[in-house]
């Protein structure tokens, strides 16, 4: 039998900020874009639990956060700090797993099957892990323990912050069934709405449905979803990770139609992307540009080269060629982006 842990750091960005600036302890802290007295453009990256009491949460427009909580402490993200803290914690976690998979800056899966004899022991194991992280890095995390990754992930979110949720094999359905379908990883706002139209609200509604109905509506993904709802997930905790794409994008302070300005910013994006490509020792074959107009209609255009390269001039010139048809359309531009992919590792 497998025993999988999902470790999720609590309000990670604000928690690191509070750790570095103890005078913030107990205050509502919001990490994200500059609110500019309610006129800022951008969103909340992460809010402390104190800030969440005001309704401020991740992905909320920063202007709305400002209206909900003008007295919150608003901070710009310090990614260098978060990456450092994350690396230190991941190193601790990795030491306690047969297999370890990082699932983002603030979460990881651990396969600990060989290290415990049952789920009771796994619970104690997880508790010690939470204490070790708090002791060594002064940050709290929540852990879900389950027979697979999907259930472990849902479980880690079940009691937060500093919560531990153990779901034994025989309790999986009892745990999942009362939950809203939106709790299943991969079910976002769109799928949630479509499911609601089908009168599917809870995981049990989904689980007890005819799987063919799901396949008809959602294809392969529908069949997978039906399995998830029944607590089935055979995916493994995998260590290896290869970068698939590297990109940069910027949203302008104000929507723009100044061609020269746009091309200058595109050049800067190209330089940034190029630098990271070189740092990673990669060569790319595909170049993709992205344009978002003022009302949010978004387009991408891609070009695959005949040979892989890491040349800045080639990147810059292709980016320019790709974006050209989107300029001078009497539509102001909100965002431009540049991404490279199809890597050859050298």
- 339 binds DNA per the rule CB under 7 A: yes
- 189 binds DNA per the rule CB under 7 A: yes
CB under 7 A: which stretch of 89-97, 173-181, 200-208, 218-226 binds DNA?
218-226
Minimum distance from residue 143 beta carbon to DNA (Å): 14
* Backbone phi and psi for residue 322, each to the nearest 5 degrees, phi listed first: -70, -35
**Long-range contacts, 103-106 (Cβ 8 Å, 24+):** 103/6, 105/12, 106/8, 106/9, 106/12, 106/82
- 221 binds DNA per the rule CB under 7 A: yes
Strands in 107-111's sheet, in edge-to-edge order, are 99-102, 107-111, 4-9, 141-146, 164-166
The region, left, alpha or beta by phi > 0 then psi within -120 to 50, assigned to residue 288 is beta
CB under 7 A: which stretch of 120-128, 136-144, 163-171, 300-308 binds DNA?
300-308
Minimum distance from residue 170 beta carbon to DNA (Å): 26
**Long-range contacts, 143-146 (Cβ 8 Å, 24+):** 143/5, 143/6, 143/7, 143/8, 144/5, 144/6, 144/8, 145/3, 145/4, 145/5, 145/119, 146/4, 146/6, 146/172
Minimum distance from residue 339 beta carbon to DNA (Å): 6
115 or 251: whose CB is closer to DNA? 251
User: Which of 1, 71, 80, 188 is close enough to bind DNA by CB under 7 A?
Assistant: 188
* Residue keyed to tokens 């002791």: 135
Number of H helices, E strands in the chain: 13, 12
Contact mark string toward DNA, 18..57, x via CB under 7 A: ---------------x------xxxx-x------------
- 185 binds DNA per the rule CB under 7 A: yes
- 335 binds DNA per the rule CB under 7 A: yes
DSSP of 273-294: HHHHHHHTTEEEEEEEEEEEET
Q: Which two tokens stand for residue 195?
A: 């499911």
CB under 7 A: which stretch of 113-121, 130-138, 139-147, 243-251 binds DNA?
243-251
Minimum distance from residue 221 beta carbon to DNA (Å): 6
259 included as an active-site residue = no
174 or 325: whose CB is closer to DNA? 325
> Which of 107, 121, 227, 259 is the catalytic position?
107
71 or 296: whose CB is closer to DNA? 296
By CB under 7 A, the residues from 54 to 73 that bind DNA are: 58-59, 61-64
Which residues have a Cβ under 8 Å from the Cβ of 72 and sit 6 or more positions away?
Answer: 27, 28, 29, 30, 47, 51, 54, 56, 65
6 prior amide bond cis, ω within 30: no
168 or 334: whose CB is closer to DNA? 334
Minimum distance from residue 268 beta carbon to DNA (Å): 11
User: Which of 303, 321, 329, 345 is close enough to bind DNA by CB under 7 A?
Assistant: 303
Minimum distance from residue 122 beta carbon to DNA (Å): 21
The region, left, alpha or beta by phi > 0 then psi within -120 to 50, assigned to residue 46 is beta
Q: Which strand (E) or helix (H) includes residue 314?
A: helix 312-323
Q: Which two tokens stand for residue 35?
A: 């609110």
- 187 binds DNA per the rule CB under 7 A: yes
| Per-residue DSSP letter, 141 | E
Q: List, by residue number, the catalytic residues.
A: 107
Residues that bind DNA (CB under 7 A): 33, 40-43, 45, 58-59, 61-64, 103-107, 153, 185-192, 219-221, 243-251, 276, 285-286, 288, 295-296, 298-304, 334-335, 337, 339, 341-342
């Amino acid at each position: 039998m497998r025993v999988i842990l999902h470790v999720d750091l609590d309000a990670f960005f604000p928690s690191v900020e509070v750790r570095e600036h103890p005078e913030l302890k107990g205050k509502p802290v919001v990490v994200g874009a500059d609110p500019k007295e309610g006129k800022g453009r951008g969103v909340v990256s992460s809010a402390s639990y104190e800030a969440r009491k005001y309704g401020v949460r991740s992905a909320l427009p920063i202007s709305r956060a400002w209206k909900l909580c003008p007295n919150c402490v608003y901070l710009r993200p310090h990614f260098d700090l978060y990456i450092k803290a994350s690396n230190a914690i991941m190193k601790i976690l990795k030491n306690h797993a047969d297999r370890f998979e990082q699932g983002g800056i603030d979460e990881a899966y651990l396969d600990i099957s060989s290290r415990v004899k049952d789920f009771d022991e796994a619970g104690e194991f997880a508790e010690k892990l939470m204490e070790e992280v708090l002791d060594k890095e002064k940050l709290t995390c929540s852990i879900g323990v389950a027979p697979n990754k999907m259930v472990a992930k849902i479980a880690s979110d079940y009691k937060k912050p500093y919560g531990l949720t153990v779901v034994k094999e025989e309790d999986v359905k009892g745990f999942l069934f009362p939950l809203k379908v939106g709790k299943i990883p991969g079910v976002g706002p769109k799928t949630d709405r479509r499911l609601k139209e089908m009168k599917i609200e809870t995981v049990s509604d989904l689980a007890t449905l005819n799987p063919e109905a799901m396949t008809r509506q959602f294809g392969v993904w529908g069949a997978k979803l039906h399995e998830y709802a029944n607590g089935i997930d055979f995916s493994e905790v995998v260590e290896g990770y290869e970068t698939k794409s590297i990109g940069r994008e910027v949203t302008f302070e104000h929507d723009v139609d100044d061609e020269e300005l746009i091309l200058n910013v595109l050049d800067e994006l190209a330089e940034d992307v190029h630098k990271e490509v070189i740092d990673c020792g990669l060569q790319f074959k595909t170049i993709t540009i992205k344009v978002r107009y003022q009302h949010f209609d978004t387009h991408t255009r891609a070009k695959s080269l005949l040979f892989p390269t890491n040349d800045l001039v080639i990147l810059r010139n292709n980016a320019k060629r790709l974006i050209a048809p989107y300029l001078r359309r009497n539509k102001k531009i909100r965002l431009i982006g540049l991404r490279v992919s199809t890597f050859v590792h050298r």
